[in-house]
């Protein structure tokens, strides 16, 4: 039963992170600043990265979501490794899995270069939460029985950053971890 719950949580987490983002593609080559292109490079650590260039209006356009959690931040969350880039949706995200004794937790860090907090659908289960690093924050419970929660923070009117966590079926734990994750990544965001 425990393995099944962990597998369901992992699948659900991947699906929810995909839903919180929108479409982009990745191509081989060096990063460029040409409008509306995506390029991929490999870091010295051997991790593939992707930078989707924008029209230059978003301060998040040149950031890599996998770099938003420092090694110290990942350690505080119990995470290790570089994370896996995910390019499903309009945002760019990086995903880590933390296998526990009973559940697998999934952590996603997302940058959205086109949509701000006000663009999150009003019919989502949103609630305002205390600011993070002086930035307005919005929490979205992604399903009452799924243990999935996202905390989004303001970057500009047309960009945001988010942390999404799936914590088995424990919504309270997911929201606590999403808040902690966004607090750890916020200092890397542009002012």
Which token pair is 191?
Answer: 């002012």
Distance (Å, rounded) from C-alpha 125 to C-alpha 168? 19
Mean pLDDT of 32-42: 34
Predicted TM-score (pTM) of the model is: 0.73
pLDDT above 50 for 42: no
- Domain chopping of the chain, boundaries: 2-188
pLDDT above 70 for 50: no
pLDDT above 70 for 106: yes
Alpha helix (H) ranges present in 55-152? 71-77
Per-residue confidence (pLDDT) for residue 160, from 0 to 100: 95
pLDDT above 50 for 1: no
Distance (Å, rounded) from C-alpha 14 to C-alpha 41? 23
pLDDT class of 56 with cuts at 50, 70, 90: low
């Amino acid at each position: 039963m425990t393995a099944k719950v962990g597998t369901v949580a992992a699948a659900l987490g991947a699906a929810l992170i995909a839903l919180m983002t929108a479409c982009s593609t990745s191509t081989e080559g060096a990063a460029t600043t040409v409008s509306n292109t995506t390029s991929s490079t490999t870091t010295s650590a051997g991790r593939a990265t992707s930078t989707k260039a924008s029209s230059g209006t978003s301060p998040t356009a040149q950031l890599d979501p996998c770099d938003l959690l420092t090694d110290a931040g990942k350690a505080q969350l119990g995470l290790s490794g570089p994370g896996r880039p995910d390019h499903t949706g309009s945002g760019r995200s990086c995903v880590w899995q933390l296998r526990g004794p009973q559940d697998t937790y999934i952590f996603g860090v997302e940058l959205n270069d086109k949509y701000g907090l006000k663009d999150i659908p009003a019919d989502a289960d949103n609630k305002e939460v205390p600011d993070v690093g002086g930035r307005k924050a919005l929490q979205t419970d992604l399903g009452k029985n799924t243990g999935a929660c996202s905390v989004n923070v303001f970057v500009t009117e047309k960009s945001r950053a988010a942390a999404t966590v799936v914590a088995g079926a424990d919504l309270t734990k997911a929201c606590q971890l999403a808040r902690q994750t966004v607090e750890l990544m916020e200092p890397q965001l542009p002012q």
